[in-house]
Amino acid sequence: MTIPARAAAVNRPTAASGTPGRAWVLVFGTLFVCAWSGNQFSPMLLLYRDTAHYSSATVTLFLGIYVAGLAPALVIAGAVSDHGGRRGPMSCAVWFGVAASALLALGELGSLPICLGRLFAGMSVGTAMAVGTSWLKELSQGRFEPTADAGAGARRASLAFTLGSASGALVAGGIAQWGPLPEVLPYLIHIAVAVPFLLLVRRPPETVFAGAVAQPLRSRLTVPSMRHRRFLQVVLVCGPWLFAACALAYGYLPVLLADATGGLGLAYATLLSVVALTSGALVQPVATRIDSPSSARGIVVSMVTLTVGLVVMIAAVETSQVVVGLVAAVVFGVGFGVGLVSGLREVQRIAPASDLARLTGIFYAVAYLGFVVPTILAALTPPFTTTALLVVLAALLLASTAVVVRGYRRHLPQV
């Protein structure tokens, strides 16, 4: 079969790609700044509630609108990029992130710019996670980087996401606690960091040729590989627990320990964010070695670690000890890092090239459902106590782990 000349030109590394074997670096940076866009708002919640005097219901709305932008972007952007290429959707992801920060910087004008900013932030992160993860995988193998190991793409994507999220939280939270113009300056800094990537994202080589497969875009919204038994019984079972851990570590725990932190609530929330995400980043080289293509070892290790994190969190809540809360954040971060790398590697083993971005988007969309866990817990307190609910959550996590263990050695060829 003759490859169209245009396809060959699109897929061949060029001088603009940079040093051979390093084409992935700019995609890594693009995913980093988009993740920054999404998580810079997390430590600001206390600021908007306590300083800007938004109600708890309004703050919850800000969180929900983010997911409303993120979930469809994960699925639609994956389908678009599998059909027409990676570069265009990733450019849009950066634009969405810049627009989000610009709108959030106008937050003093009212809740509408914040709502719109959160919507665009979700679109930025959703698009970047679905498309950037796939692009990194493709640039971390074959002719682009022949010496890379099989897990390099998943590891780099996970690292870009965790480091970007940690940086966004660190900058925004630090300024919110101690800096000037706390409702404006964090977002202007993100814009300054992100704008260069509007140009830099054009430099990495394209890996998908528009129209190379004669399949209409509408049909690409279906994902045949999501019916894979290993995806259903292992990957999807683990997914929501990963971001539930993040939400508990630096979304819910600072609220539960607010009295113990006194006037440093913002700083403590920021610290928990950075500690959890940094732990998740540092453990990823180890996670690559734990993961195995012939078993679900990496995911099981992740879920057991997250269970331990819940136990430590219960101890922190019961004793009102901020140091124990930090330990919980470390354990949650380790479990998150191992699970994210292992989950992405499972997806990349399951999905054919034509499904990769879409299946990655579905994995992230399901995983992000975990962010609703603190909202559910808060809604149930009272009549139930926080400790009782956390114990129930730990029991559910153990049950989910048992489901994964049942599929522990169900190998990839089984569908």
| Token code pair at residue 248 | 């508990």
Contacts of 280 (CB under 8 A, 6+ apart): 158, 162, 333, 334, 336, 337, 340
Residue 82's pLDDT is: 82
Secondary structure class of 293 (helix, strand, coil): coil
Of 260, 271, 393, 373, the closest CA to residue 316 belongs to 260
| Token code pair at residue 6 | 């245009």
Cis-peptide into 20, omega within 30 deg: no
Hey, CA dihedral for 22, 28, 33, 34, is it positive or negative?
A: positive
Show the CA angle centred on residue 195, arms to residues 192 and 200, nearest 5°: 130
> CA 254, CA 266: separation in Å to the nearest integer?
8
The type of residue at 226 is M
Residue 47's pLDDT is: 81
> CA 355, CA 99: separation in Å to the nearest integer?
29
Query: Can you tell me which residue has the tokens 């970007």?
Result: 164
Residue 7's pLDDT is: 38
The answer to whether residues 321 and 281 touch, using CB atoms and an 8 Å cutoff, is no
Q: What is the pLDDT along the chain (415 residues), one digit of tens a residue?
A: 333 433 333 444 443 444 555 889 999 999 999 999 998 987 887 788 777 777 766 776 787 788 889 888 988 888 888 888 899 999 999 999 999 999 999 988 888 999 999 999 999 999 999 899 889 989 988 888 888 887 788 889 989 998 999 999 999 999 988 989 999 999 999 999 999 999 999 999 998 876 555 455 555 556 777 888 888 889 999 999 999 999 899 888 988 898 898 888 888 989 999 999 999 989 988 888 888 887 888 999 999 999 999 999 999 999 999 999 999 999 999 999 999 999 988 898 888 877 887 888 889 888 988 888 887 888 888 889 999 999 999 999 999 999 998 876 654 444 4
Map out the domains of the chain with their CATH numbers.
23-205 (1.20.1250.20), 225-408 (1.20.1250.20)
Residue 211's pLDDT is: 57
> CA 329, CA 248: separation in Å to the nearest integer?
9
Of 270, 230, 272, 250, the closest CA to residue 363 belongs to 230
> CA 199, CA 192: separation in Å to the nearest integer?
13
Residue 6's pLDDT is: 37
Helix (H) and strand (E) counts for the chain?
Answer: 20, 0
